[in-house]
Amino acid sequence: MTTSSPPLRTTPAAPVTPVLRGLPLLRLGFRPFYLGAALLAALAVPLWIAMFFGRLPLSPAAPPLLWHAHEMLFGFAAAVIVGFLMTAGKAWTGLATPRGPLLGALVMLWLAARVAALVAPYPVYAVLDGMFLPIVAVIFLNLLLRARNRRNLPLAGILILLSVSNVAFHLAVTNSLAISPLGTLHAGLALIIMIECVMAGRVIPAFTMSATPGLKLTANPKLEPITLLLTALGLALWVFAPPGWVTLVALACAAGLHLHRLWHWQPLVTRSRPLLWILHAAYAWIPLGLGLLALAQIAVVPVSAGLHALAVGATGGLIIGMITRTARGHTGRPLKPSAPEVMAYALVMLAAVLRVFLPLLSPDLLPLSLLGAALAWTVAFTLYLVIYTPWLMRTRLDGRDG
């Protein structure tokens, strides 16, 4: 007679707690760069307004108008782009992106350039600022090549072109290159809009479908590349060609295609979801801005109307929408903005309306336009700083790394 041994009792393995290394602020690129961008947005615009109205005797390295435009593009928007790519790149490739000391060094280089623009000799500012984007471009391109991630190589290419346009700006300001500094800034804005067009085409319909049960949005495989190519052509003509009918037609056609693209994404279903409607509302400024640039080709409206529609409405709106949504997701928080965050969305849209349309009603309204838009913009990004600074400086709510 044999006896069987009692069955072995196994206890479930305890969940493995990830080892969290380093300061939470330096664990993923979105954390320091989103904070830095919001801080710059909240400080630089009031500084510019004070300089414009002669209330602040400050002389930045570049002339005040060029400093303002440059810092909004290559300081503010570039920081958000870098923070996003240094975060999304990890998910796209499965490889580690800069963190810890390396990420801290990149942030300090970006910050040093912002400070140097106000207190240092121009060559110091130019060198510090000119180094940042090429270094980031090399890191991002190397990441994609190692992972054989061909889909995102165009983004790396645009980042390289953005680096070139920034260096060209500094060479133009110092008269080392016989081109207009404004032209290089227009090129920078055009490249940023192209990044937004690519990324919006991925995230806006995906976010809309995930939040709307049963909704199916399928991109037109023929129309999508045509939309992007015609946008690139129209913007390139705007930057490099003299005003004329060819540029007008290209920009107008691109505007129409973006309007069709947006309508296909069914923006009306997002009315009760602020995290979605801000992205749809901001994207609507792209066809509007392209349309205004088209009209500027025959002097119906000033170029500044289309430029600020793209810079404040589209870029500012997409940025405030993305830096709230992605920061909430990557810190383990629910994707439901608070009332102050929704107010920030509305304020950025108000800033765009005031900056674009008031001067179109009457040139005499420009001072009111500048003051109102600056106030709305500054309050919006100050709200972001108040809410998100503690979150971005702490470990995720779920205890995970990142």
| DSSP code per residue over 57-101 | ----SS-HHHHHHHIIIIIIIHHHHHHHHHHHHHHHHSSPPP-HH
Give CA separation, 21 vs 30, 53, 330, 402, in Å. Answer: 17, 47, 16, 10
Q: Which residues contact 248 (CB under 8 A, 6 or more apart)?
A: 294, 295, 297, 298
Residue at 5 is within a domain: no
Q: Is the pTM of this model over 0.85?
A: yes
Q: Write down the pLDDT at residue 19.
A: 61
Residue at 4 is within a domain: no
- Which residue range is the domain that position 247 belongs to? 24-392
Residue at 320 is within a domain: yes
313 vs 112: CA distance, rounded Å: 28
| Amino acid occupying residue 213 | P
Question: pLDDT digits over 5-63, tens only?
Answer: 444 444 444 444 456 777 999 999 999 999 999 999 999 999 999 999 999 888 888 89
CATH code of the domain containing 242: 1.20.210.10
Do 116 and 124 form a contact (C-beta atoms < 8 A)? Answer: yes
**In a structure prediction context, what are the per-residue pLDDT tens digits for the chain, which is 402 residues long?**
344 444 444 444 444 445 677 799 999 999 999 999 999 999 999 999 999 999 988 888 889 999 999 999 999 999 999 999 999 999 999 999 999 999 999 999 999 999 999 999 999 999 999 999 999 999 999 999 999 999 999 999 999 999 999 999 999 999 999 999 999 999 999 999 999 999 999 999 999 998 888 889 888 888 999 999 999 999 999 999 999 999 999 999 999 999 999 999 999 999 999 999 999 999 999 999 999 999 999 999 999 999 999 999 999 999 999 999 999 999 999 999 999 999 999 999 999 999 999 999 999 999 999 999 999 999 999 999 999 999 999 999 988 888
Residue at 19 is within a domain: no
Do 120 and 174 form a contact (C-beta atoms < 8 A)? Answer: no
CA dihedral 44→47→53→54, nearest 10 degrees, is -140
Query: 40 φ, ψ to 5°?
Result: -65, -45
Residue at 113 is within a domain: yes
Instruction: Give the total number of structural domains in the chain.
Output: 1
Q: Write down the pLDDT at residue 221.
A: 87
Closest to 388 (Cα-Cα) out of 20, 25, 72, 18? 25
- The size of the chain, in residues, is 402
63 vs 289: CA distance, rounded Å: 26
Give CA separation, 257 vs 286, 305, 386, in Å. Answer: 10, 20, 38
Give 226-274 as a DSSP string. Answer: HHHHHHHHHHHHHHHSPS-HHHHHHHHHHHHHHHHHHHHT-GGGGTT-H
